[in-house]
Structure 1
């Protein structure tokens, strides 16, 4: 998902999320409204091998006709298949292994569809389920934060359609297992749209058929995130090219843009290779180089749809001189699509790492000033109300909700924590830990890794193993507690006494740097064993804590600025009334 500390105010974003959730509450069942609910036992008992999905998008009636053939391998004896599908769709036909089953064999009262099998499937056996359905898909009130379909018109008058279903889940589009671990190993998409509209899709193009005024585009993708399977329809034109990777392979590039945007689109397309160069140099090989790096212009802000990232930022450059939206969504090809969180409670692995990629990219492009300035923007947005990890299963809504959940802190607190970790353990261990998390190896090369699931606990174990130290204290405070640690400095008879005050008095032996004197003074390292340390400092000598801004810590100035901004906004709104 696509926040921006520079272009979208935190308060307006939170209000939009709340309004969107309340607006659709009456329309969607709880099962369809929440993504990432515990899987049914029958869903845990299968490996999802293949999804063959046919979609007919009918803009004139804002409706969808779907035909899904789903292949599962049983990991345990199976007597039923359970799918998630928006109950507002009408199901016309259900088949098991090519044979229609009676209506009495299946039900979908609350959006969790249960299909009784004609005969049990033994462990290691396979079953193919077909569901033919149709209806008016749920409409997004404010995509991408509110999931659903966007039915729009291009500036030239043609239909312009997009789906964005991260928050509410894949069941708003197709019968799926709406859980991060519900990824199908292979997906075929057949997208039928009115000619001459174009329908870019996930993965690689297999072909296009045109008949009776309709076009069907065929796409094939491997291991896509469930919410990354998407529909995009419009009067698109394509810019294509190639990127020659440092790893020896060639990555196809494609940008589908609206007619009339050719010049602006060419400028954005020119950024593709530079972004690929950054990620491959700093993180590792582009995970889907055998498919494509694809981007499509959309009537909503954006979303990390695998190999066909949604882009709706209107070609804006921010104050740092690059398109933050494109770069953020593209970062999710590594942190979200290659590495997928095993549970929504681990969503900071997507958003925290993805958000850190923006300052890191600016450091790569232009150096330290832009890097620290971008981190400062993120720091100003922290709320620190709810831990970014709770250590228990959560739904997408429970994580993103700003009042009861972690909200934007999974983005910015996650990013700033990674900046602090990098300073603590050093670049070599830090970037190696990312590669092991993302690829499962320190030496990734095209062909020697596959998409994988990751957890918070796994990342902590990776850091401990690489450093040979136990950094549980670090993650206990930053990930599992809401409040930030406070660094207390007090002068005494001989100098400066330092101590950490961590939430719940947890151990926090974070080393601290102190600059003695003015801007050109000596910088000393204070070990802080037991969370305490001391610096000899003559009376009257000025000092600066953490002069290189390595530490994420409680600083009252940020809360004061937020409080002042909120009060001024409230006063302005009252005056306007």
Structure 2
């Protein structure tokens, strides 16, 4: 119940608005399967722009954006992003999980939050080179990775934030191609700090995951999680990667509106799904990227007509990550069985390791840049 002249957008479906004798209004909302950390009530002098999306799955989905007065042009531009963004997710991941309720967004004083069917938006209609609002796209990604698929333990919230962050470069690729994808991935790469493992292998609180000063991985659950998914996609291929993703999100390979419900998952289940889909055990991959802080380091040595490569990983385990090597303009794949590989290289030939940056690995340049940036921010004595 809110004062006269105010509106109260919330989760789920609006059943109706009752006007009381004193002029106040009662907003009646119903939500079928609420994610308990994603419930929100917003009250303000909102104006609304709305429409209907015709899904590629045959259903129609209501869309609405509640915004503050005086922002109609900006609001309409943001609302114009709703349908193509929804089409991207439905084409790449699967059906919008809450199509029988709505796609809802509301302007808020805080930056953003994935409140189910009523995402908070506070990005001030910022513009970016990629041509879309990353904050809206990120929070909307959480309808799949957060509200449909929910981690059973905060320790596995890379399932929310890693996927939620990877969706921005993936959308960039869907819109403009590989160059945009690569540019956005490189921006994320510079933000990975590797101070702590992405997962602690224990039941954790929200603060113990999101806050670095309380032992958490902090922003690495976003950016390192995203780059881990990028590396996994390159390793197992698009067909397997998106098959794993759909099974993780919907609990089945053939999602259609009405044949799935929100579900809980974990890193252990995700790893099992990769094994199920590919027929191979990638435990070595998850042991390094999820359970160790340091990144794998690729050691290169060129002697005579041979290029020798070897992986060094925290804990000293096996890391058979194949590596692309470009020699005189031609790309060769070095299998790296046992974590080591060799490739004949003509004398004087120009060599580029991992030319398309498929692998999340140690970068001395990034480490030195981060150290220099931290040093430059310190006050001069």
TM-score, structure 2 length as denominator?
Answer: 0.98
Counterpart check, 1:207 vs 2:16: yes
2:76 to 262, 266, 270: 266
CA contact (8 A) 1:194 1:215 kept: yes
Aligned equivalent of 1:434: 245
- Secondary structure (helix, strand or coil) at the match of 1:544 reads strand
Alignment map for 1:38-53 (pairs within 5 Å): none
Counterpart check, 1:480 vs 2:291: yes
**Shift of residue 333 of structure 1?**
0.2
**Shift of residue 545 of structure 1?**
0.3
Measure the CA separation in 2 of the matches of 1:563 and 1:387.
20
**Shift of residue 566 of structure 1?**
1.6
Aligned equivalent of 2:314: 503
Counterpart check, 1:547 vs 2:358: no
1:457-488 deviation line (CA, Å, top 9, x unaligned): 00000000110000000111001110000001
Moved over 6 A (4+): none
Measure the CA separation in 2 of the matches of 1:475 and 1:259.
48
**Shift of residue 317 of structure 1?**
1.4
1:319-367 deviation line (CA, Å, top 9, x unaligned): 2121000000000000000000000001000000000000000000001
**Shift of residue 196 of structure 1?**
1.3
Aligned equivalent of 1:559: 367
Aligned equivalent of 2:228: 417
Pick the structure with more helix per residue: 2
Measure the CA separation in 2 of the matches of 1:402 and 1:374.
24
- Secondary structure (helix, strand or coil) at the match of 2:15 reads strand
CA contact (8 A) 1:317 1:324 kept: no
- Secondary structure (helix, strand or coil) at the match of 2:200 reads coil
Q: Aligned-pair RMSD on alpha carbons?
A: 1.0
**Shift of residue 452 of structure 1?**
0.3
**Shift of residue 390 of structure 1?**
1.6
- Secondary structure (helix, strand or coil) at the match of 1:564 reads helix
- Secondary structure (helix, strand or coil) at the match of 2:81 reads helix
Alignment map for 1:290-439 (pairs within 5 Å): 290-403=100-213, 404-439=215-250
2:281 to 470, 476, 480: 470
**Shift of residue 538 of structure 1?**
2.1
Measure the CA separation in 2 of the matches of 1:510 and 1:286.
34
Pick the structure with more strand per residue: 1
Aligned equivalent of 1:106: none
- Secondary structure (helix, strand or coil) at the match of 1:438 reads helix
Measure the CA separation in 1 of the matches of 2:218 and 2:335.
33
Measure the CA separation in 1 of the matches of 2:275 and 2:147.
25
Aligned equivalent of 1:443: 254
Counterpart check, 1:218 vs 2:28: yes
Alignment map for 1:119-158 (pairs within 5 Å): none
**Shift of residue 193 of structure 1?**
1.2
TM-score, structure 1 length as denominator?
Answer: 0.65
Measure the CA separation in 2 of the matches of 1:233 and 1:506.
54
**Where does structure 1 lack aligned partners over 5 or more consecutive residues?**
1-191
Measure the CA separation in 2 of the matches of 1:514 and 1:228.
45
Aligned equivalent of 2:40: 230
**Shift of residue 546 of structure 1?**
0.2
**Shift of residue 540 of structure 1?**
2.5
1:389-422 deviation line (CA, Å, top 9, x unaligned): 1211000000011232110000000000000000
1:70-117 deviation line (CA, Å, top 9, x unaligned): xxxxxxxxxxxxxxxxxxxxxxxxxxxxxxxxxxxxxxxxxxxxxxxx
Measure the CA separation in 2 of the matches of 1:415 and 1:347.
12
